[in-house]
Amino acid sequence: MVKLLKENYPYLVALALLVAVAYGNSLGNSFVADDVPEILNNPNLTKVDHIFAAPPVFVHPLLYFLTSNFFGHSPTAFRLVNILFHLGNVWLVFVLVAALIGRTEGFFAAAILAVHPLQTEAVTWISGGPYAQYGFFILLNLLLYLFLRRDKKFLPVWLGSVVLTFISSPTAMFFPLVLLAFSFSSQTLRRDGKKLIVPFVLSLLWGVLVLGSLRQRMATLQNQHYQTPQFYNPLLQIPIAVTSYLELIFWPKNLTLYHSEMVLSSVEYYSRVIVFLAFLGVVIYFLKKNRSVFFWLSFFLLTLLPTLNPLGISWVVAERYVYLGAIGIYVVVAVGIKNIGERLGRPNISYALLVPLLLTLTVRTIVRNADWKNQDTLWLAAAKTSPSSSQNHNNLGDLYGRRGDLERSAAEFKKAIELKPNYADAYHNLGNTYWQMGKVDEAIENFKKAAEINPRLWQSCQNLAAIYFEREDFTAAKDWMERAVAANPTDPNLQRNLEIINTQLPK
């Protein structure tokens, strides 16, 4: 290992510099989106219990626990953890591809990974970090598996990395398929088959644990995100998702947190089906032509499998989902760039092609990092690419409300409700806006609608109690405050408010 590092020291330094240039401007960014409730407003983050709060995943809660205890609520510290894992992935891709194909191909692939803007959602966004962390453990496992073939002394270390992979993500139940494809592509499956028994057995056990948590996941989507239970049609979902990811890899223009524009015409859909089938044809072609390329193309598909399920528990397309899978395409592109130079008999041409590609991708990444600077920049950026996102319209309503533009704020909340009629949060926010505008009757109407859709939305009940208290309708105020207390019984302020209301009722 030491020899390997010494021999490749200049490449590793160059790759580290690429990561630093691409992500340096993100270090000063704020907490955004899920970062706020999960980190900034999470009082349990510094407690040991937080590590075990979401079994069977422990790596990412542990990293949150350590970072918060050492550095407090510093977004720079949390984001730096993501960047370091990303750098680790870049180095692992270089070493792994160099060992399997060649050093030049490894450097090209790792360099593309280092600066590609598609990776920003799992690097710049703190809450996207678990995807980069999971990717690190899968790539480390592959590298150790390669070492294990050459020396059995790596067996304990490799098994340890298997366990780390599983406890880093609930999607790890699929990762033994990557090992299987790896052995198959290198034609060592018969020799290495016994080694795969452990990860496949763990995968079955892991699958039982993950499936047991699906009910909670579906309840969360329904209660917090107001997604009605649904099943995706795989004939629609898979071609659209796969081709969308390929498009974002080769033309990373419309990057957004909310990929909501999934309604396609018949022509657009069948065009994507043709592209998807053509991609599968390319995978099959390389099965016979070049097994290394076949593996990396398969790697792209296999690592996406957990998100291509029809259960409706994940988005159809999310950039963080393809953080790991995109590496497979980057490797194939790297091989292609290297082959162009060789076929022309001028290897330097390969670097002439790589440099402008890296420069273009780096600039796009730096620009994309600026979109993640704070909540406002993120929602305004998403507005350009996600006009059908009810969540983003709700976010924009909050943005304009904070800026004092209440009319525009109300219009955004109404648009969110138009797109998602059962969106309780948007009704609540619209009620707040009307209350600020002095339109109390409209506020009451929207608060009641929010509470009807989601009885756990205690804030709407509390606001209704406050309005009725101001109107001296103490009976109605008591009724709504009791609902607020029932929805949030641990809040002492609600209890005190209820006691105050009771003092106003006739004895």
Name 278's Cβ contacts closer than 8 Å, sequence gap at least 6. Answer: none
Burial class (CB in 10 A: 0-12, 13-18, 19+), 25: middle
Per-residue pLDDT of the chain (507 residues), as tens digits, is 566 677 888 999 999 999 999 999 999 999 999 999 999 999 889 999 888 877 778 999 999 999 999 999 999 999 999 999 999 999 999 999 999 999 999 999 999 999 999 999 999 999 999 999 999 999 999 999 998 888 888 889 999 999 999 999 888 888 999 999 999 988 887 787 788 888 998 888 887 777 766 666 555 555 555 455 567 888 999 999 999 999 999 999 999 999 998 889 999 999 999 999 999 999 999 998 999 999 999 999 999 998 998 777 678 899 999 999 999 999 999 999 999 998 888 888 999 999 999 999 999 999 999 999 999 999 999 999 999 999 999 999 999 999 999 999 999 999 999 999 999 999 999 999 999 999 999 999 999 999 999 999 999 999 999 999 999 999 999 999 999 999 999 899 999 999 999 998 876
Identify whether 56 is preceded by a cis peptide bond (ω within 30 of 0): yes
Can you tell me the distance from the alpha carbon of 430 to that of 443, in angstroms, rounded to the nearest whole number? 7
Global pTM reads 0.93
> Which pLDDT belongs to residue 223?
52
Q: Side-chain half-sphere of 496: how many Cα atoms within 13 Å?
A: 3
**Helix pair 266-289, 234-250: axis angle to 10 deg:** 70
> Which pLDDT belongs to residue 210?
73
Let me know: does 450 contact 487? Beta carbons within 8 Å. Answer: no
Can you tell me the distance from the alpha carbon of 327 to that of 142, in angstroms, rounded to the nearest whole number? 13
Burial class (CB in 10 A: 0-12, 13-18, 19+), 315: middle
Neighbours of 250 (CB within 10 A): 10
Helices (H), 72-119: 75-100, 103-115
**One-letter-per-residue 3-state SS of 243-279:** HHHHHHHHCCCCCCCCCCCCCCCHHHHHHHHHHHHHH
Can you tell me the distance from the alpha carbon of 197 to that of 289, in angstroms, rounded to the nearest whole number? 29
Residue (of 169, 167, 189, 168) closest to 177 by Cα position: 189
> Which pLDDT belongs to residue 505?
83
> Which pLDDT belongs to residue 91?
97
CATH tag for 377-504 (out of 1.25.40.10, 3.40.50.300, 2.102.10.10, 2.60.40.10): 1.25.40.10
Let me know: does 134 contact 324? Beta carbons within 8 Å. Answer: yes
Sequence spans of domains, the chain: 2-168+230-373, 377-504
